[in-house]
Amino acid sequence: MIEEVRHAHEAALEQVATALTLADLRAVDSEVLAKSGTLGSLKSRLGSLAIEHRKTVGQAINQAIEAVESAADERRRELSAAALQGRIAAERLDLTEITARPRRGHEHLAIQAWERLEDVFVGLGFQIAEGPELETDFYNFEALNMPRSHPARSGFDTLFTDYNEDGTVLLRTHTSPVQIRVMQTVEPPIYMIMPGRVFRRDTPDATHMPVFHQLEGLVIDRSITMAHLAGTIDAFTKAFFGGDFTSRLRPNYFPFTEPSAEFDIQRPDGTWIELGGCGMVHPNVLSAAGLDPEEWSGFAFGFGIDRMARERHGVDDIRDMYSNDVRFIKQF
């Protein structure tokens, strides 16, 4: 019987070695190892052997079964690996064969700068106020220390509407009227910015648009000084452009602030850019808004959002920003 075991063992190993598929291997299970299989069936015949041979033959059968199982496992791993490899090889893709890519929307360049600036000021502890684009003469001029006959009004190139006969409703020329509305409704302390769209009767050219965006800031608190103004200007320009930019104030004139200043920033290469105007809120403006200038002081500043975007992205001509040309929009 030992001879039978040896034959069955060899035949089974041969069957395993020649198996080409996993199904062939499964056949080894049923044809060899199962109770009815070539090796399995030998076990059932052990009982018929003489007692002294049983142990030897039994051991031989078990060893043969183990050897076949082990060979089948090994062969199974080989076949699986080969199958996987075949599949992987067949699945090869040229990843540069791309016919379409997902569309990504592009935020308007001015709005990108707008939101970036909002984030900068939120970080400095500011909140954001908004207001109407059509304004009354009172909010746009009078409350800002520019009564009817004030010569500085002529510098604003205001667009007036037919809303009422006396021409007192106009398109706001700056977002300063929002400052007045804030001062009238919010109890100080005030740390706020007012971004928004503004309008001037300006012929479009490389640096001017009749419709553009401005951001103004207003801080009113006890013991606010001009050093706080300079510090705020420096902080936000550094946050927006980078720490290697510096800023300076130089005297200027606005009816609604005093002392007033123009603020410039210096690029790392040493060149200067004029950015906007600022100053300490004029006592008359505080009074007009119902605040006691002896108790409160503050500063205000304003600049063009579009200008900031242009400077950051090197846009030479502001008109491109408002062409709505997707060839421009998709660049940013």
Partner 1 sequence: MKIVLSWLNDIAPVGDDAVAVAAAMTRLGIQVEQIRRVGSTVDGVITAKVLRTERHPDAAKVHRVWVDAGDGTQRHVWCGAFNMAAGDVVPLATPGTEMPDGRVIEPRPILGIDSQGMLCSASELGLGDDHSGILILPADTPLGLAYGEALALQSEVVFDVDLTRNRPDCWGHLGVARDLGAHLGRLVALDRSGISPNGTAISASVDLVDGERCQRFTTLVLSGVVVQSSPDWMARRLGAAGMRPINNVVDVSNYVMLELNQPNHAYDLETLGGGGFRIRLAREGETITTLDGAVRSLTSDDLLICDANDVPIGIGGVMGGLDSEITDATTVVVLEAALFEQTAMTRTMNRIGVRSEASGRFERGVDPYGMPLAQRRFVELLRETCPDLVVHDGAIDARHESMPDEVRPVPTRVSQVNRILGTALDADAIAALLDPIGFTVVGRAGDALTVDLPSWRPDSTAEIDVIEEVARHYGYANLGQVVPNSTMHGRLSPRQERRRALRQVLLGHGLDEAITDSFFSRSELIAAGLSSDAIRITNPLVVGEDLLRPSMRAGMLKAIAFNESHRSFGVSLFEIGHVFPPGDRSGELPDEYEALAVAFSGQDARAAMALWRELVAAMGFGARVDQSLIPAGLHPTRSATLSVGRDAVGAVGEIHPEVSEAFGVSERVAWLELDLSRLLAAGPKIAQWKPTSRYPSTDFDLAFAAPESVPAEKIDKAIRQAAGALLVDLALFDIYRGEGVSSGSRSLAYRLRLQALDRTLTDAEVADVRTKIIAATTKLGVRLR
Window 229 to 268, contacts with partner 1 (CB under 8 A): 230-235, 248-253, 255, 258-262
> CB 243: neighbour CB atoms within 10 A?
8
Q: Is 189 a residue that touches partner 1 (CB under 8 A)?
A: yes
Query: What angle is formed at CA 331 by the lines to CA 328 and CA 332, rounded to 5 degrees?
Result: 110
Q: Is 324 a residue that touches partner 1 (CB under 8 A)?
A: yes
Q: Is 199 a residue that touches partner 1 (CB under 8 A)?
A: yes
What does 174-237 look like in DSSP terms, one character per residue?
A: SSHHHHHHHHHHSPSPEEEEEEEEEE-----BTTB-SEEEEEEEEEEETT--HHHHHHHHHHHH
Q: Is 58 a residue that touches partner 1 (CB under 8 A)?
A: no
CB 213 within 8 A of CB 195: yes
Q: Which stretch binds partner 1 (CB under 8 A): 32-40, 58-66, 92-100, 117-125?
A: 117-125
Q: Is 66 a residue that touches partner 1 (CB under 8 A)?
A: no
Q: Is 47 a residue that touches partner 1 (CB under 8 A)?
A: no
> CB 25: neighbour CB atoms within 10 A?
18
In the bound state with partner 1, the residue whose beta carbon lies nearer, of 68 and 191, is 191
CA nearest neighbour of 157 among 198, 197, 196, 194: 198
Binds partner 1 by CB under 8 A, chosen from 30, 44, 85, 225 = 225
Site residues (CB under 8 A) for partner 1, limited to 288-317: 297
Q: Is 69 a residue that touches partner 1 (CB under 8 A)?
A: no
CB 8 within 8 A of CB 34: no
In the bound state with partner 1, the residue whose beta carbon lies nearer, of 189 and 268, is 189
Binds partner 1 by CB under 8 A, chosen from 30, 36, 323, 331 = 323
Report, in Å, the least distance between residue 226 CB and partner 1: 5
In the bound state with partner 1, the residue whose beta carbon lies nearer, of 64 and 114, is 114
Q: Which stretch binds partner 1 (CB under 8 A): 6-14, 46-54, 87-95, 126-134?
A: 126-134
Report, in Å, the least distance between residue 248 CB and partner 1: 6
Binds partner 1 by CB under 8 A, chosen from 56, 80, 161, 287 = 161
Report the SS3 class of residue 193: strand
CA distance 176 to 144: 8
Q: Which stretch binds partner 1 (CB under 8 A): 8-16, 88-96, 152-160, 308-316?
A: 152-160
Binds partner 1 by CB under 8 A, chosen from 9, 75, 181, 282 = 282
User: Which residues are within 8 A (CB) of 319 and not within 5 positions of it... i.e. 6 or more apart?
Assistant: 204, 205, 206, 209
Q: Is 27 a residue that touches partner 1 (CB under 8 A)?
A: no
Report, in Å, the least distance between residue 290 CB and partner 1: 18
CB 257 within 8 A of CB 242: no
Residue with the two structure tokens 């919010």 = 186
What does 121-135 look like in DSSP terms, one character per residue?
A: HHHTT-EE----SEE
Count of residues engaged in binding partner 1, rule: CB under 8 A: 87
DSSP H or E segment with residue 190? strand 190-199
Q: Is 142 a residue that touches partner 1 (CB under 8 A)?
A: no
CB 21 within 8 A of CB 79: yes
Binds partner 1 by CB under 8 A, chosen from 22, 81, 84, 134 = 134
Report, in Å, the least distance between residue 162 CB and partner 1: 4
CA distance 61 to 64: 5
CA nearest neighbour of 300 among 241, 254, 266: 254
Q: Is 175 a residue that touches partner 1 (CB under 8 A)?
A: no
Q: Is 106 a residue that touches partner 1 (CB under 8 A)?
A: yes
